[in-house]
A and B are shown apart, each in its own frame.
Chain A
Amino acid sequence: MHYIWKEWKENIRGKGLWLSVSIIVLLSLIILIRFASHPLDHGFYILLINLFDTIVYFIPILCLFIGAFSIFQEKEQKTLIMLLTKKDHYASFLAKKILGISVVVLLPLLAWFFLYLLLLKFQFQLDIKSYLIFILSILLMSVLFLQVGAAIGSFSRSRMQIIGHTIFIWFYFFFLHDFILLSLLPHITNENVKVFSTFYFLNPLQAIRIFLETSMEVYSFSHMSRLLQEFMWTEPSAFLVGNFAFWMVGSFASAVFFNRKDVHE
């Protein structure tokens, strides 16, 4: 609780959180106006898909930056050393810090998306289950990238390093990961498709998108070939849980293992 309060106090004074939330608010309003002025059948689902496809550009990078700078600030202001002298291990500090950042980032987002639902109610026929799935997808994406951001903040020694690492990770998940898999596609057979599928769903952006679209029953995996059945060897939700666990544990472990408490002046 102490960390949540501390994080709240720090973020409320800074620009990062408000910038991020303002961007999400603005984007969702623009998309609402766009689809409200051109109503289509099942417009609610169309709006959610378009909203997700748009904010997926922003949430990962914003969360990476918020997470990274939040940790880095502790190092820069020497508060990290003070906190760790109180018999607190870095892992426990990191866990509390991530919890704090997550709560502080997710609360305004949740509040906005609740308000947004009220706005949607005037224009569309709502499907609450789909909306909750949408919110869950956004929240999972935010937490995951905040955690990865915290890892960046842990092992970076300067602001430049943070910017470099963040942009690389964003670029990796947005382009590079899929590009590598695309290049491997001609060599995929029934024998190796499960391994390929595992790597495909290691990209959180793909895992979350497929979970969202299938859970909303917008995207259907039907009449699948043997290859595709092998590819989808478990449920999209299971892929998402696996992906989430992998990146949360992986980034936490790397943050603890490679953390540097010193900062380049």
Chain B
Amino acid sequence: MPDVLSAPLVVEFPFTRSLGPVQSAFLTGLRERSVLGVRTADGRVLVPPAEYDPVTAEEIRELVEVGTAGTVTAWAWNPQPRPCQPLDRAFAWVLVRLDGADTALLHALDAPGGAQSVRTGMRVRIRWALEREGAITDIACFEPDDDGPTTHEARPHSGEFADPVTGITAPARLDYTYFPGRAQSRYITALAGRKTIGERCPSCRKVYVPPRGACPTCGVATDEQVEVGPRGTVTTFCVVNIKAKNVDIEVPYVYVHIALDGADLALHGRIGGIPYDQVRMGMRVEPVWTEGGRHPDHYRPTGEPDADYDSYRELL
């Protein structure tokens, strides 16, 4: 049993999202330092505004402008902010009902007085971000508002601005430590010694490469390690004509499924050492390793006669 393998894994997407008319007006409004809400069928003012009535599900479009100060309706003191949160020093999460609104907005409250200074019912006002682009983060945070209560009423607003924001880009990055598990750890460890290790199902006796720890036919653990290859047979292939981002391989190249000798499942690879238009089903191939590579860089023809179709038809 090899040591448990692990590797850092980053999952990162810049999600691009389009906005509905109400969301667009709200986020554009923030850019212009004004806060818009939307009136529901029963006359309540939602801030932040929704495109649809939360009760009736009707489309709602009647925009109003509310105040930039409001009242805390719930709070939680966050002594150790996490990396992407609005402030990098201790702050309070707050739900704030802005003056003229009937619902509350979630944001951060910068409270230099600490947790003791925060309470439900306290007055707060928006601190605007210096650079604004049409996002909820255009509100840098809230801050205590010592000016006391105001009587801001929601005022009708057209929702029209020059150069409205129509979409947002929401980057999302999560960092993981990836653990491949027992079977894949054995496989990866063996590859480092240029051996390919499959695993045999105790029930149907099939050998899976790469092994994932379970036989998908029998639903039982594969526990017997079997060395397969290094040579194998091309079961099927395609010619890739479009260069992939961040992959330094000249096109066209041939992507193949290879049944390694002794394996009952084909794995994928790339063929080199032969013009792309001469690759064929049944071709015999062997791995080509590069210095320091932890897996075959590609496969090349062995020069053996092609395998009979019947010898690999079950592996297609």
Does A associate with B in a complex?
no
Point out residues on B near A: beta carbons under 8 Å.
Answer: none
